[in-house]
Amino acid sequence: MDITVWQWATTGPEGKPTCAGCHPGGGPMEFDRDGQRYDERLTEKPSLSDSLYGDYYGSHWDKSGVLEADCFMCHLSSYSFETRTEQLKNWNLKWASTAASGIGTVEGSIYDVVDNNDPSAEPKVTYNKRLFNEDGKIVLDIKPTVDDNNCMQCHGPADMKKRAFSWHDEVNPDVHSQQGMHCVDCHPAGMDHNFAKGHTTIETLRDDLDNSMRSCKDCHTEGYRGATIPKHVNIPPSHLKDIACETCHIPQKHRAAGQFFDTTHGNLHWDIIGKKEAWGKPEDWYPAYMKFDGKIIPINPIFGIWWGNREKNGIVYPLFARELAAAWGIYGSRVTDDNGDGFAEVNKREEIRLGLKAVETVLHKSSRFEQVHAVFIKGDKAWEFNQDSLLVGKWDPVCKGRGFSISHNVAPAEMALGANGCPDCHGYNGEFFKRTYIVDPYDENGNQVIAPVRKTIGISDYSYNLCAIHFPLIRPYMGIVLIIIFFVTTLHFTSFGPHDFGGRPLHPRSDDYERIDRFNLFERLTHLFVLFTFIFLALTGLAFAYRGGGRFLELFFGNTVTPRVWHGWLGFVFGIGVLFMLLQWWRDAMLIPSDKEWVRNFGGYLGGHDPVPADRFNAGQKVYFWTVIIGGIALLLSGTVLFFREHLPLNLVFTCIFIHYIAALFGVSGVLSHVYLSTGANPGTFPAIFVGKVTKLWARRHHPLWYEKITGKPASGSSDHQNQNHSDESK
């Protein structure tokens, strides 16, 4: 931070409110880096304060005392942080706790004693006698735990990142806070005083304690303290695995946060969401996302525009604020404010060039680095001079986007993303993927460059659109298509009745009711496998497609995971069955010239009195066959991708979701028509695929060419008569 411990403990830089107003003392506020107490060591050796020893330089520990850990900051709800800051500004370090806890009042100021040479200003305590028993012992309402208010005194204002200030906040509510939960309920600590913490994507802070806090799962899987146990029946399990709870359950934030900062002028210039003058002001905004620890988490993207020096070892070191301020002094007057926000930003190539040169001039004055090579990091580019002294800006690992993870302000479940179905995220208006983040706050013209958040998790425009399109175009119509097919087939049946060619009997023959083989056992078994798996796949698939389908699945399977697992495995059985069908029937399904006539007559389905030419399969069946084959293979391939979705790129998965739904829609409608045609529409057909045999009469009627092929007799015409006459005679 470029400040001494003394500055840290007393005024802080530029006389701003002291850091120690929140830092609770103890540790480095008490002992120097050699483990000695500052006050004792400086009293022994006063010359240290004139030395360059950073722990003592310019300090007055001998008079101020040190900051011992102030237990009351947390354990006393009446603690006054203002009084503490007041005391610290007066350098009354060892008096701070006595005054701020309200045990006594403190008059005097070490600052006056030292700086104004006024010995009479030596601080004096007047204790609040009402707090003491007759025996001189103090009675205090010391809390075993910590009040939220005590936590928030520090984690509220200073913390633009974790935003504890929005805990117990009406503008930015959280269901847990509304239920009366407290900070320490999720962030408990034992006697070791190491509070359980979450993780941060930006900083390193006791990473060994990461995720030690009580997680959503800890309470919501066991119902701890009455936590609801969500079933997520309508959420695909893959989502629960890949997406953090917070991502869906914190759909929106309502207080402005920082989005980027710029150190160019030698101080921290913050840019706040909604162009607010300070973070914490009411402002609605949507979190962005990033992949962290294998899960998609919601973040407040925060990135820095900063200057560094590329050392010999290739590492880019950030620079001190004072170095940047010095450099700005050299070139700042030549930098213009292009976007008119009152902050002159370095964005044009010429400005970057000036800046890099100025920074190098400043760095050359110190021997801090072995090699002086300035780098300017802005957005997704690092700018520096190459070997030929030409300015180049390109992506570098130091540009890695940063975001602060979001975990407070959990919304009621009904407001979570996905509560209104998949389109909440995947549809055309799905905000999840539509949200944007700032790639570069100011390009060469001073304009903000933004990109959709989905880019950060590798989802391209085309796959996003494919996935989005299937919500308005396919899913809503699945049910409707099914209903239409039912309606049309029923209508057809009512209008034309069973497909018996106008009811005109063929000339009967004596062997008409003899049976002939139509499908062998293997063919029938293949069909049966495909039939059964299809019914399962279609029903469960439909349930996956519809919001509320989860309830249907629960009804049959008790949960929503089992049917998904089975859908995957049975999908392979179905796919293999389809491949077998291809092998056994492809020859019979090749189109032949006479199929034209069948088509011309609409297969006789719209009336007509004579059997239309048809081989083993008629033209309609052939078209249906190839539809099933193509659709089945499409389902098999896309399904295989979905089966292994965890290991495959999201773009491919999204594309396959689209293909799977299209193929399923065609498949289901095709099969429904197929069922009608093989039952009601054509009496006598249905047993063929199960028993394997049909009557000769049926064969003559429906597949005359096939009949002729296997019996060697004509299906109609003279031989009919001969046979008929013959049988008449024999009567």
Structure tokens at 499: 């497909």
What is the footprint of other proteins within residues 126-155 (CB under 8 A)? Answer: 126-129, 132-142, 144
From other proteins, ligand HEC, none, interface partner of 414 (C-beta below 5 to 8 A by class):
none
Give 153's Cβ-side CA count (13 Å radius): 24
Angle at 294 between CA 289 and CA 297, to 5 degrees: 25
Q: Which of 4, 57, 103, 295 contacts other proteins by CB under 8 A?
A: 103
Beta bridge partners of 694: 516
Nearest approach in angstroms of CB 67 to ligand HEC is 15
Q: Which residues contact 298 (CB under 8 A, 6 or more apart)?
A: 244, 246, 247, 250, 287, 288, 289, 405, 406
Q: Is position 725 an interface residue for other proteins (rule: CB under 8 A)?
A: no
- Identify what 2 binds: ligand HEC, other proteins, none; CB under 5 to 8 Å per kind: other proteins
Residues 274-333 that bind other proteins (CB under 8 A): 315, 317-318, 320
Beta-carbon contacts of residue 620 (< 8 Å; ≥ 6 apart)? 598, 603, 677
**Interface mask toward ligand HEC for 135-174; x: CB under 6 A:** -------x-x------------------------------
Residue 468 CB-density burial (10 A; 0-12 exposed, 13-18 middle, 19+ buried) = buried
Rounded-to-integer distance, Cα 139 and Cα 686, Å? 92
Q: Which is nearer to ligand HEC, 137 or 587 (CB)?
A: 137
Q: How far is the CB of 19 from ligand HEC (least distance, A)?
A: 22
Residue 195 contact partner, candidates other proteins, ligand HEC, none, CB within 5 to 8 A by sort of partner: other proteins
Whole-number Å distance between alpha carbons of 570 and 93: 73
From CA 168, how far away is CA 185, in angstroms rounded? 14
* Long-range CB pairs of 698-701, under 8 A, 24+ apart, other chains included: 699/516, 699/518, 700/506, 700/512, 700/611, 701/500, 701/501, 701/506, 701/611
Return the number of the residue (71 or 154) whose C-beta is nearest ligand HEC: 71
Pick from 61, 111, 165, 195 the residue near other proteins by CB under 8 A: 195
571 binds, among other proteins, ligand HEC, none (CB under 5 to 8 A by kind): none
Name the residue nearer to ligand HEC (CB basis): 74 or 659: 74
**Which residue in the set 3, 22, 71, 579 belongs to the binding site for ligand HEC (CB under 6 A)?**
71
Choice between 192 and 370, CB closer to ligand HEC: 192
- Residues 121, 127, 129: CA angle, nearest 5 degrees: 155
Q: Is 196 in the site for other proteins (CB under 8 A)?
A: no
Per the listing, tokens 């950073």 go with 54
Distance in angstroms (rounded) separating the CA atoms of residues 202 and 292: 11
Q: Is 406 exposed, middle or buried (0-12, 13-18, 19+ CB in 10 A)?
A: buried
* Shortest distance (Å) from residue 63 CB to ligand HEC: 24
Backbone angles phi, psi at 652, to 5 degrees: -65, -40
Nearest to 546 by CA among 648, 636, 476, 445: 476
Query: Between residues 191 and 390, which has the closer beta carbon with respect to other proteins?
Result: 191
Number of residues that bind other proteins (CB under 8 A): 59
75 binds ligand HEC (CB under 6 A): yes
Which range touches other proteins (CB under 8 A), out of 102-110, 112-120, 166-174, 664-672? 102-110
Write each residue from 8 to 27 as x if it is in contact with other proteins (CB under 8 A), else as -, in one continuous string: ---------------xxxxx
Closer to ligand HEC at the Cβ: 106 or 299?
106
Q: Considering the rule CB under 6 A, would residue 397 count as an interface residue with ligand HEC?
A: no
- 30 in contact with other proteins (CB under 8 A): yes
State both tokens at 202.
């930006």
Nearer to other proteins, 94 or 470 (CB): 94
144/712 with CB nearer other proteins: 144
| Residue 34 binds to other proteins (criterion: CB under 8 A) | no
For residues 398 and 378, what is the distance between their CA atoms, to the nearest angstrom? 10
* Subset of residues 478 to 507 that bind other proteins, contact rule: CB under 8 A: none
178 binds, among ligand HEC, other proteins, none (CB under 5 to 8 A by kind): none
Q: Give residue for tokens 């299906």.
A: 715
When asked if residue 69 is in the footprint of other proteins (CB under 8 A), the reply is: yes
Closer residue to ligand HEC in complex, CB, 144/712: 144
What 3-state DSSP class applies to 621?
helix
Beta bridge partners, 107, equal 124
Is 81 buried (19+), middle (13-18) or exposed (0-12) by CB count in 10 A? middle
Shortest distance, position 144 Cβ to other proteins, whole Å: 5
Given the rule CB under 6 A, which residues bind ligand HEC? 71, 75, 142, 144
Residues near other proteins (CB under 8 A) are 1-2, 23-30, 33, 65, 68-71, 94-95, 97-98, 103-104, 106, 123-129, 132-142, 144, 189, 191-195, 203-209, 315, 317-318, 320
